[in-house]
Structure 1
């Protein structure tokens, strides 16, 4: 019944046992709790887990590939998911946050004059000046750093890397943020340069490592997302990224807007439906024959099977659904879909938990149904 969902796939040179991927997610959990969460998702039958926001530099939040403690944690995670027959991908990213701007706003946040949502808006507004003002020498240092980070990820046991096309890649790609006048700014051919150099650095340091690219697409009329590229710019970006070494594309909506747009609830006016971001995959599909992973409110195995059957996507990425029910893939494989605990896309304990700094969980776990 689910021939495509349960079948193996060559995903850019990496053989996946089925078509279900755990999408990169900022879980906000203590390291040991996060390891057990991801182990459970691996045991539930998904083919690959993408670990979100693995920093390419020596700083940043969370475990670092450059520090012994962080490297060892990644090594333990790789061993744990591999024991469950699951692959592991490191989402390599560079933050585009202007930390000096954050420091300036901290007094207002601490006194309550600025709310957390207002702080996010203020930091998003600071991205453009920060990106535009970075010295070219510093930009080249950052793009080169993706290479050593990829090599370390391979040593830690990762099977693939994903270059995060949002964050700094996405901000350099965006005409809304990038107002540079050098070789990293201007038209789309210049704005793609940061991402291309990052991919090339990975390919140079880890020539046999498959490279997924999180392709963040911005929509206009109506406007959603601020980073990333417009649909009209995709014919420039996709071929150049592919030529640089990208072996697959993970297509989604661009960030740096409202979090409820990129993590949309069921009541969202534009993205409330199943597979809400798949129309973006259609635009990319016309430009490449590389495998495409779709994401966005995917919960229904019948719907996903139909998208795979038509070739609209080759893989389905889920986050909230696999948090709600880590055994979703095994239940599909065992033809026990009536037992699936469906994500209702309420965003109460997942996005709500992240915003409240208590970590991502689910209403099923918290008995909030």
Structure 2
């Protein structure tokens, strides 16, 4: 097959991408130097943009912080290294919705191993609703200001665009599962979209020339998957409001706050085991906006990806496990060597399994890739 669409450039909300392949935000669970090394290897493989996940909106978050000298040096080193590979870099602005005070009561059980990491995740997800519903407006405003502050710092660090993480705090405010507020931030779709829209406006007001991607988390029913995010029937309200707020592109995926094997589905998943498993959500968003739409979810086959791009179903695709399995996936595809791609088999053994075991994200093919 001719992969001319994959190889073609595109303006992604104002950011010019050299091709249609994006590395989606991935928590690698590695040291700073190892993280830079792996992301540079992926950039060298030919993708057009890397989205760096979990860039904290507030000074006190997990991982490197834009607000500290050490964190700023890390991000500057990362963006400079990726840029040397002719690849753009996007900062995913992330605000956790975990109630850290509530987490303290689970620490003894975690330390004594009476609570597993998976159980802790489920327990913390149960705390999200009360946390979001009871959050004082003063704190909401402080977080929203943080989105703007972090965007300014991200630009200083060398990021080319930002992605507002629409699953964590934004997604929880959007969701009727978690948001039971009775003020301007709860109730109707318009009110539940307010936090996300104000986060986007905060970014746009501080860096008006910077493209703003939005990770749009869609909650699925019949059967139920995901707890944060937006119901499919609510997209008609949320998408135009986000666009009016300043979003320049949409990265569409399944909502989180459920089992990680739903949002990172193995090939054996009962609902999302197929290629391009989340693309039906993109179809719904595509009908509501003319902005670029990026699809994600179990994408491993270059022929399938080319077909989705060629028909205009999506404008770009985001790969994670496929580029961890073979960083040269884009280069091999675009130079006539697609048959040589080390295909991700979606086993989740060393990638998701490595993350859950606190050993970092790896691949069962890693040793072969290093040869």
**TM-score scaled by structure 2?**
0.98
Give the secondary-structure state (helix, strand or coil) at the position aligned to 1:51. Answer: strand
Matches of 1:202 and 1:113 in 2, distance apart? Answer: 42
Match of 1:222 in 2: 223
Shift of 1:358: 0.7
Matches of 2:287 and 2:187 in 1, distance apart? Answer: 25
Match of 1:352 in 2: 353
Contact kept, 8 Å, 1:254 with 1:262, in 2: the verdict is yes
Shift of 1:367: 6.5
Matches of 1:252 and 1:50 in 2, distance apart? Answer: 14
Give the secondary-structure state (helix, strand or coil) at the position aligned to 1:202. Answer: helix
Match of 1:210 in 2: 211
Match of 1:97 in 2: 98
Give the secondary-structure state (helix, strand or coil) at the position aligned to 1:164. Answer: strand
Could you report, residue by residue, the CA deviation over 1:109-140 in whole angstroms, capped at 9, with x for unpaired residues?
Answer: 11122122111111000000000010011101
Match of 2:186 in 1: 185
Query: Would the alpha carbon gap of residues 114 and 366 (structure 1) be closer, same or farther in structure 2, given more than 3 Å must change?
Result: farther
Match of 2:275 in 1: 274
Matches of 2:85 and 2:154 in 1, distance apart? Answer: 19
Q: After alignment, is 139-148 or 177-186 more displaced? A: 139-148
Contact kept, 8 Å, 1:235 with 1:287, in 2: the verdict is yes
Shift of 1:153: 0.5
Matches of 1:367 and 1:8 in 2, distance apart? Answer: 31
Match of 2:62 in 1: 61
Match of 1:195 in 2: 196
Contact kept, 8 Å, 1:55 with 1:64, in 2: the verdict is yes
Could you report, residue by residue, the CA deviation over 1:160-194 in whole angstroms, capped at 9, with x for unpaired residues?
Answer: 00000001000000000000011000011100000
Match of 1:337 in 2: 338
Match of 1:298 in 2: 299
Give the secondary-structure state (helix, strand or coil) at the position aligned to 1:15. Answer: strand
Matches of 2:124 and 2:160 in 1, distance apart? Answer: 34
1:117-132 to 2 correspondences below 5 Å: 117-132=118-133
Which consecutive residues of structure 1, in runs of 5 or more, have no partner in the other structure? none
Match of 2:323 in 1: 322
Match of 2:10 in 1: 9
**TM-score scaled by structure 1?**
0.99
Could you report, residue by residue, the CA deviation over 1:81-114 in whole angstroms, capped at 9, with x for unpaired residues?
Answer: 1110000000001000011111100111111221
Match of 1:262 in 2: 263
Match of 2:288 in 1: 287
Could you report, residue by residue, the CA deviation over 1:313-367 in whole angstroms, capped at 9, with x for unpaired residues?
Answer: 0001000000000000000111101110000000000000000001000001157
Structure 1 stretches (4+) deviating beyond 2 angstroms?
none
Give the secondary-structure state (helix, strand or coil) at the position aligned to 1:89. Answer: strand
Matches of 1:366 and 1:132 in 2, distance apart? Answer: 47
Matches of 2:117 and 2:157 in 1, distance apart? Answer: 35
Contact kept, 8 Å, 1:65 with 1:149, in 2: the verdict is yes
* Paired residues, number: 368
Match of 1:173 in 2: 174
Query: Would the alpha carbon gap of residues 336 and 367 (structure 1) be closer, same or farther in structure 2, given more than 3 Å must change?
Result: closer
Matches of 1:141 and 1:111 in 2, distance apart? Answer: 36
Contact kept, 8 Å, 1:96 with 1:171, in 2: the verdict is yes
* Cα RMSD (Å): 0.9
Give the secondary-structure state (helix, strand or coil) at the position aligned to 1:5. Answer: helix
Match of 2:74 in 1: 73
Contact kept, 8 Å, 1:144 with 1:197, in 2: the verdict is no
Matches of 2:109 and 2:73 in 1, distance apart? Answer: 38
Matches of 2:41 and 2:367 in 1, distance apart? Answer: 17
Match of 1:134 in 2: 135
Matched, 1:243 2:216: no
Matches of 1:217 and 1:144 in 2, distance apart? Answer: 25
Match of 1:158 in 2: 159
Matches of 2:360 and 2:301 in 1, distance apart? Answer: 26
Matches of 1:354 and 1:100 in 2, distance apart? Answer: 24
